Amino acid sequence: MHVLTVLDHPNPKSFSAAAAGAFMRGATDAGHTTELADLNTESFSPLWSMADIGDDTPPDVAREQDRIARADAICLVFPLFWWGMPSMTKGWVDRTFRWGWAHDQLDNPEQSLLRPRTGVLLVPAGARSDEIQTEGYLDALETAWTKGTFGFFGFSPRKLELLYGSTGSDARRAALLEQAFQCGLTLPSPDNPRA
């Protein structure tokens, strides 16, 4: 498969960047080709503006759509910010998966105009797993992202892989990087309900 990793972090030495690297090494070891979209280094503009309204696709968005078109699997790597996406990732999602290109209706999150692609949200989070689960944050994220958003983009199968406790000890972070590596190594093929 061809695997696109979309990284959102301005610091190349960040844990998120290390997680993206570990995921890509796992995907490479599994025999996949890989491609990195490093949104901050590339200065992608996340601002949804008048240029995004209308029939014409802005050139910077068309470039991201070309990346998606050649990918069989997509992994978004971004740190969890206030139980949501940082603005760069949010803007990349908002601008790239355009109405009429990715989706044309809002009734059924299992339907997309795009072919099925394996989708992974690989998300470092400072909080502990028990806190995220007992407070209901995990259910909220699964509902908003896994159920309510990424089906419209053709992500199938799709999963949210949280890297809990990402600001913890070196040993903790090493275990999380192994989790990211395994995620790349065991990436499933896209579902193909249209075959």
Ligand X SMILES: Cc1cc2nc3c(=O)[nH]c(=O)nc-3n(C[C@H](O)[C@H](O)[C@H](O)COP(=O)(O)O)c2cc1C
Cis-peptide into 46, omega within 30 deg: no
Instruction: Encode burial over 53-90: b for 16+ CB neighbours within 10 A, e otherwise.
Output: eeeebeeebeebbebbeebbbbbbbbbbeeeebbebbb
What does the alpha-carbon distance between residue 55 and residue 44 come to, in Å, rounded to a whole number?
Answer: 21
| Minimum gap (Å) between residue 157 Cβ and ligand X | 24
Q: How many residues bind ligand X (CB under 6 A)?
A: 15
When the beta carbons of 1 and 83 are compared against ligand X, the nearer one is: 83
Residue from 25, 35, 67, 83 touching ligand X (CB under 6 A): that is 83
Q: Is 16 in the site for ligand X (CB under 6 A)?
A: yes
Q: Is 144 in the site for ligand X (CB under 6 A)?
A: no
Q: Is 25 exposed, middle or buried (0-12, 13-18, 19+ CB in 10 A)?
A: middle
Q: Is 160 in the site for ligand X (CB under 6 A)?
A: no
Specify the 3-state DSSP secondary structure of 14: coil
The region, left, alpha or beta by phi > 0 then psi within -120 to 50, assigned to residue 43 is left
Instruction: List for the chain the helix, strand, coil content (%; round to 5).
Output: 35, 20, 45
Q: Is 125 in the site for ligand X (CB under 6 A)?
A: yes
Binding segment toward ligand X, per CB under 6 A, in 32-40, 48-56, 87-95, 119-127: 119-127
Residue from 27, 61, 85, 127 touching ligand X (CB under 6 A): that is 127
Q: Is 14 in the site for ligand X (CB under 6 A)?
A: yes
| Minimum gap (Å) between residue 19 Cβ and ligand X | 7
The region, left, alpha or beta by phi > 0 then psi within -120 to 50, assigned to residue 128 is beta
What does the alpha-carbon distance between residue 48 and residue 28 come to, in Å, rounded to a whole number?
Answer: 34
Binding segment toward ligand X, per CB under 6 A, in 46-54, 62-70, 78-86, 96-104: 78-86
Q: Is 80 in the site for ligand X (CB under 6 A)?
A: yes
Binding segment toward ligand X, per CB under 6 A, in 9-17, 32-40, 89-97, 113-121: 9-17
Q: Is 173 in the site for ligand X (CB under 6 A)?
A: no
Which residues bind to ligand X, rule: CB under 6 A?
Answer: 9, 14-16, 79-83, 124-127, 166-167
